[in-house]
Amino acid sequence: MDFFFDDPPGLAISVLGEYFHYTLRGGSRAHDLAERADLAGVGITLIFIDESDLMGPQARYFVEEALRFRDHSRLARGG
pLDDT of residue 59: 97
Domain extent listing, the chain: 3-67
pLDDT in tens, 52-67: 999 989 999 999 999 9
pTM of the model: 0.87
How would residue 17 be classed by pLDDT, with cut points 50, 70 and 90?
A: confident
Cα 40 to Cα 55: distance, rounded to the nearest angstrom: 28
pLDDT of residue 20: 77
Cα 2 to Cα 54: distance, rounded to the nearest angstrom: 14
Of 60 and 30, the structure prediction assigns the larger pLDDT to: 60
